[in-house]
Every structure is written in structure tokens, then in C-alpha cells.
């Protein structure tokens, strides 16, 4: 099932998510829904809070559905190692129409559980490392705009506020 993707301002996007404690059929269905929702929105990553579920789950596919083997699911992920630096343009399905250059580590190692509940670790670089870090931010109640400072952050937030007032958000 394809879900509505929540936008900046929704409470669940601005608070930490809870750990998954049981791998129930509902969790499996949620993961399937997240994958369908991500692909339907032409995204490369989606965290459970973005569809209103405050659980520590994310899905990432930097091929955007072109290669099913690129689909990665993490439950209860932990960023265990990061190194280097990259400055790249970043956007978000919860902030449609807004992009900004964000500094993140070039390499990231994430450990957690896969959709079956088995432990797995993925070492990533470049776009995949960025996607992992972006989605973990969602699980911690942060959006990319929260990493910005000064005028850049202010301009985006003012524009979102204006769109909210006019009902376009």
C-alpha cells in the first residue's frame, strides 16, 4: 500500500523513533509499504516516520528501483563508523522542492537488523553513505534542514511557513 509522505512540521518527523522489538507480520507489511511508497515517490530512501510510524526502520535503494538487489532495509540501525567528508546537494521527500548542500561523512558503516531480524552491517561510501545518514537522521527526529544554519535554513523555513499558511503545504 502506498502511504502519504508527511511533510516538515508533522510531529512524528521531529521526535526520536522507538526501537522495533518484535518482527511481526505488521512490521513486514510496513516494510513492504515503505518500499512501495519510496518507489512511487521516485525516492532513494524512506524512513518509517515519514509515513507516520515512529519506529526505527528505513529502506534505501540508490538505484531508485532500477536494480532490486540495491534495496537495503535496516531495522534499529546504528551508525558505527564514519570518516571523511563530502559536500553534496541533498533533498527530502518530506521537504519537496527544497534542496541544499549538506556536509556529511564520505564513508559510513551501519549495523542493525534486516527485515528478517538478522544482524547485518553495511559499509557505504558516497551517495549510499549519505542516504544512510539522512535516513538515520529521520529516525532521530531530524531533517536535512536541521543541519543548516543561518540564512539558508531561515529561507527554507520561511518558505515552508508561507506555503503552510496558504494551504499549499
Q: Give pLDDT tens digits for 55-111.
A: 999 999 999 989 989 999 999 999 999 999 999 999 999 999 999 999 999 999 999
With a pLDDT cut of 70, the percent of the chain lying above it is: 100
Which residue is catalytic, options 83, 89, 90, 135? Answer: 135
Residue 43: pLDDT over 90: yes
**pLDDT score at 100:** 96
Grid cell listed for 99: 534542496
| Reported pTM | 0.95
User: In angstroms, rounded to a whole number, what is the distance separating the alpha carbons of residues 102 and 147?
Assistant: 7
Q: Identify which of 39, 143, 139 has the alpha carbon closest to the alpha carbon of residue 96.
A: 143
Active site residue 89: no
Write down the pLDDT at residue 49: 98
Q: How far apart are CA 160 and CA 98, in angstroms?
A: 9
Q: How far apart are CA 75 and CA 111, in angstroms?
A: 9
Amino acid at each position: 500500500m502506498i502511504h502519504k509522505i508527511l511533510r516538515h512540521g508533522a510531529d512524528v518527523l521531529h521526535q526520536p523513533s522507538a526501537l522495533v522489538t518484535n518482527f511481526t507480520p505488521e512490521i513486514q507489511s510496513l516494510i513492504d509499504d515503505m518500499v512501495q511508497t519510496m518507489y512511487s515517490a521516485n525516492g532513494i530512501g524512506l524512513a518509517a516516520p515519514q509515513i507516520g510510524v515512529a519506529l526505527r526502520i528505513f529502506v534505501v535503494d540508490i538505484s531508485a528501483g532500477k536494480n532490486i538487489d540495491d534495496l537495503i532495509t535496516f531495522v534499529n540501525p546504528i551508525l558505527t563508523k564514519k570518516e571523511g567528508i563530502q559536500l553534496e546537494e541533498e533533498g527530502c521527500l518530506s521537504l519537496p522542492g527544497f534542496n541544499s548542500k549538506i556536509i556529511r561523512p564520505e564513508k559510513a558503516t551501519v549495523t542493525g537488523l534486516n527485515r528478517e531480524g538478522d544482524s547485518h552491517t553495511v559499509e557505504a561510501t558516497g551517495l549510499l553513505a549519505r542516504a544512510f545518514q539522512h535516513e538515520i537522521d529521520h529516525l532521530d527526529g531530524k531533517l536535512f534542514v536541521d543541519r543548516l544554519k543561518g540564512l539558508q535554513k531561515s529561507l527554507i523555513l520561511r518558505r515552508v511557513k508561507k506555503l503552510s499558511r496558504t494551504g499549499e503545504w
